[in-house]
Structure 1
């Protein structure tokens, strides 16, 4: 049923809907270079970007159909999630922005949507997607790339060479028809856009947005659900809207349980009516939106249960001897000098040597990737 627009929403909503198209790569949070935008101009800019995102959304939407168990050598959902966790560990290891991670996961899912690959090629494809995402981010932000392909290969333990990654990167770019300077709209772009629109709407109506809707928390939750195959085929705009209002509902529930905090009913009405207007404008199906909400709740609740475990393990890195020699070239140095025997006629003149405390894992084959070395048992970030 259509929800009528509240009189206080009327000044902004029609202006937004009449706005023209805008470039999706524009910075939503930055002010105009010449002067600060007025609320009406900011609303026009945001809804112009919204219309542009709607036109480009289908290009970045994966449609994966992976089996739970491999029968004929197919890539399974477990292998897909393992690759996504490897990408997130690389993001944490190098302290990369979330844009790189979400873009790399999106590239990986779209490539598996188009191409049927063998499990042995998944490690190389994973590192190649991260390599392309780094190149795209450097081009979008006009910055210099600081991580080389060799470093990615060494840390990821993908059992491939830098040349393999470069060749696979060219294959991915060709199969996905990636064009330089044309960035694909991801769920992270939708999340930032919808949050900015909600902030503007709340400010216009005099409603205080809950503290739980901070961008950092929303982005972290998006990373969590993006690493789970259950949410991979969810429409990116629906996923962003569900995540935004999931955090909003959590905060409102906490406020309602606290007797000291009183929220006017009209404030909650303004916030949820805005979501209804976005749903109608983006033509989101009610059943699809409810299904996406159920999947997100399941993934997040499972993550929160793991978070609550006291005996959980920290991030575990399993290094082979080859990698350890690269990272620790001084592992043969000793901490104590051997004792020099004065008697030349001693039976055993060879002194005992005390080696350093460096400990490496067993020399394992790399065929079990991505279980080794950077698949986390649990990650705090």
Structure 2
């Protein structure tokens, strides 16, 4: 959807190596040219969902949409995929639900298909070979569909979303990286780590409350959510006797200029800020209640246990050994059959219960 020039997401990556040789004026011109290109085509990649909270006539609800987004994030974590794939897959899912009326039974297949298309587009952009097959996506996602279903659904998505050209739209992640680069150009002292911003954007993108927010507004709100911590730290330092850094005034002026340049109204920006804060606070409360080490329980049947390790013919009991104190040579011989095991039932490494506890650090 974006032309291959200064505004294309690939152009920002390909010119990253040459940006060090540019002067600050040339770098600013390149970034603002990309910003203008993003603004021209922002409406084409903007979802406009209107999903009910409860399904009345077999419609997809906001809960189903959030569930699909979390499945995509689980796939991203499982396969260790970059954030570009996740944000693009969520954007494809929301845009498809905006154009098409979908039945709830088709949501799992559409979810995996969006991840499939996002993987194809990322491999084409980075000129790398795709390492995850469709069969692996279907197996890990447990979507109850076949690889052929995903391939056919992917063709439908490509046709309905006009993705035949291979180019993708600028997502909120592209906007976030662009705004961060522009911010650091004006205020180098602003400490905003890209990893923290990307993680925050993933949390916000998985919630349906922020799905209809403009990608530029969402990226700006996420960026300033982290910058508020920096501004609060500078304010505390100034109250203790230190002077407020000049970059603090630059940040405030930068926000006003960017808001005017992108035609962001104060009401829309305030509404987006409220929704982002609500989503992040709810996520932090859930994380605070959850233990650092999560205990997962796999329930297996007796038949599955026998397939994994045949223990039906093993026993933990041994015959009693009678000791002879007076006649050393009269010690009885010890007979053991191959069907007996010397393991104690309480200290056995294989549980006798069909419930197997599994621990993970995530």
* Cα distance, 1:290–1:177 mapped onto 2, change above 3 Å: same
- Alignment partner, residue 345 of structure 1: none
Q: Give the aligned partner of residue 110 of structure 1.
A: 95
The answer to whether structure 1 residue 53 and structure 2 residue 38 are counterparts is yes
Deviation at 1:27, TM superposition (A): 2.2
Equivalent-residue separation in structure 1 for 2:65 and 2:123 (angstroms): 26
C-alpha spacing 1:359/1:43, structure 2 compared with 1 (3 Å):
farther
Secondary structure at 2:55 match in 1: coil
> How much has 1:149 moved relative to structure 2?
0.5
Structure-2 residue corresponding to 1:4 = none
Residue number in structure 1 paired with 2:271: 291
Partner in structure 1 of residue 227 of structure 2: 248
Contact residue 231 and residue 296 of structure 1 kept, 8 A? yes
Judge conservation of contact 1:101–1:130 (CA < 8 Å) in 2: yes
Structure of larger gyration radius: 2
Give the Cα–Cα distance (whole angstroms) in 1 for the partners of residues 11 and 48 of structure 2: 27
Is the counterpart of residue 164 in structure 1 residue 149 in structure 2? yes
Change (3 A) 1:22 1:186: closer
- Distance, in Å, in 2 between the alignment partners of 1:303 and 1:267 is 30
Q: Describe how 1:192-341 pairs up with structure 2 within 5 A.
A: 192-203=177-188, 208-210=189-191, 213-257=192-236, 262=242, 264=244, 266-309=246-289, 311=291, 314=294, 316=296, 331-334=308-311
Note the C-alpha offset of 1:332.
3.7
Task: Look up the match of 2:58.
Answer: 73
Aligned pair in 2 of structure 1 residues 290, 359: CA closer, same or farther (>3 Å)?
farther
Q: Note the aligned Cα RMSD (angstroms).
A: 3.4
- The equivalent position to 1:85 in structure 2, one of 70, 88, 94, is 70
Counterparts in 2 of 1:200 and 1:34: CA distance versus 1, 3 Å: closer
Structure 1 residues 47 and 143, CA gap change in structure 2 (3 angstroms): same
Q: Secondary structure at the match of 1:132?
A: helix
State how many pairs are aligned: 330
1:145 alignment partner, SS class: coil
Query: Do the aligned partners of 1:238 and 1:284 also contact (CA within 8 Å) in 2?
Result: yes
Per-residue deviation at 1:255? 3.7
Deviation of 1:308 (Å) = 2.2
Work out the CA distance in 2 between the residues paired with 1:311 and 1:169: 38
Q: Distance in 2 between matches of 1:319 and 1:123?
A: 24
